């Protein structure tokens, strides 16, 4: 399926996301993406899902370039990765403008986001190790990437447990809580905005985050050390909070003892 060549720029703009709860570092892509989306929609034969696949591959290329080490490769890799982030906005904008949103597109976005975000930190560690030969950077990247992956994995397992137990009401409730949380942020004052901005700046996959500027100014080793400390802490914090919320919810079917003692293996 090819993109519609009759789509207007105004339709592309209308397909953009609500920016009310965006952090300031994301805004540049909000202004650039409509023009890139319009170019793709009018002149390139890609569906939104194909663009999702394209940005995922470009992100992996950027990650690989970062892992080669040295200032030039680290900077080139993070710039390539930012191109992938931009295309991540483009696929959704075109899909909404052409009314071509699909579950497949959402799956590709989620899959590549999950993989790329974890590998990004590992690649930084490998790149820094290749830069000066200090093996500690490799281990720091491994720790940060592993716990970032594990944190996302633990959160997704909550929904799998709800489905296994046929507690679809809890899925709906959880989605509603996330939606209301987003609305509170968008309605919040300066304190909420600062919290969102701080979180976005710490996220390795966010555009123009501390990772980007740490590489730009050649101090990315300090960012990696920081991430290797705070990501495991946040994983433990989030894991405890999740269990506190669901630990005493009754189940309606038999759970075998192995599942109870090793839920992270499933």
CA atoms 237, 241, 244, 247: torsion sign: negative
d(CA 12, CA 99): 11
Which parts of the chain sit beneath pLDDT 70?
Answer: 1-5, 18-21, 175-189, 252-266
pLDDT at residue 184 in the model: 55
Q: What is the pLDDT of residues 127-166, one digit of tens each?
A: 999 999 999 999 999 999 999 999 988 988 888 888 888 8
Q: Report whether 212 contacts 223 (CB < 8 A).
A: no
Q: Residue 100's closest CA among 193, 54, 24, 37?
A: 37
Q: Which token pair is 57?
A: 């591959």
Q: Residue 90's closest CA among 54, 65, 57, 118?
A: 54
pLDDT at residue 10 in the model: 86
d(CA 137, CA 116): 19
Q: Report whether 200 contacts 26 (CB < 8 A).
A: yes
pLDDT at residue 252 in the model: 63
Q: Would you tell me how many other CB atoms lie within 10 Å of the CB of residue 217? A: 8
> Could you tell me the CA-to-CA distances from 186 to 13, 173, 208 in Å, in that order?
20, 20, 21
Task: Map residue 146 onto helix, strand or coil.
Answer: helix
Q: Report the predicted TM-score, pTM, of the whole model to 2 decimal places.
A: 0.83
d(CA 266, CA 168): 19
pLDDT at residue 231 in the model: 95
Burial 157-172 (b: 16+ CB within 10 A, else e): ebeebbeeeebeebee
pLDDT at residue 236 in the model: 96
* Residue 4, phi then psi, degrees to nearest 5: -75, 125
Alpha carbons within 13 A on the beta-carbon side of 139: 4
d(CA 110, CA 122): 19
Burial 178-187 (b: 16+ CB within 10 A, else e): eeeeeeebee
Q: Is 68 exposed, middle or buried (0-12, 13-18, 19+ CB in 10 A)?
A: middle
Q: Report whether 204 contacts 117 (CB < 8 A).
A: yes
Alpha carbons within 13 A on the beta-carbon side of 35: 5
Q: What is the pLDDT of residues 176-194, one digit of tens each?
A: 666 555 555 555 567 777 7
């Amino acid at each position: 399926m090819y993109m519609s060549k009759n789509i207007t720029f105004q339709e592309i703009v209308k397909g953009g996301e609500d920016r009310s709860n965006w952090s300031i570092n994301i805004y540049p892509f909000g202004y650039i993406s409509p023009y890139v989306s319009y170019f793709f929609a009018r002149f390139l034969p890609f569906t939104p899902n194909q663009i999702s696949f394209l940005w995922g591959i470009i992100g992996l290329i950027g990650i690989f370039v970062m892992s080669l080490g040295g200032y030039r490769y680290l900077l080139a890799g993070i710039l390539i990765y930012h191109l992938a982030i931009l295309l991540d906005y483009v696929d959704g904008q075109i899909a909404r403008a052409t009314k071509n949103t699909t579950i497949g597109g959402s799956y590709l976005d989620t899959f590549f986001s999950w993989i790329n975000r974890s590998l990004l930190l590992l690649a930084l560690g490998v790149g820094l190790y290749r830069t000066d030969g200090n093996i500690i950077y490799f281990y720091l990247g491994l720790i940060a990437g592993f716990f970032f992956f594990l944190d996302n994995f633990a959160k997704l397992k909550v929904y799998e447990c709800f489905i296994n137990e046929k507690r679809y009401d809890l899925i709906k409730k959880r989605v509603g809580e996330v939606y209301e949380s987003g609305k509170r942020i968008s309605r919040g004052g300066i304190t909420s905005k600062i919290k969102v901005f701080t979180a976005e700046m710490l996220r390795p996959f966010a555009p123009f985050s501390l990772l980007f500027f740490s590489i730009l100014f050649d101090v990315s080793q300090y960012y990696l050390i920081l991430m290797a400390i705070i990501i495991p802490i946040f994983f433990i914090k989030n894991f405890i909070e999740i269990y506190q919320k669901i630990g005493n919810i009754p189940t309606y079917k038999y759970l075998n003892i192995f599942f109870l003692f090793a839920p992270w293996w499933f």
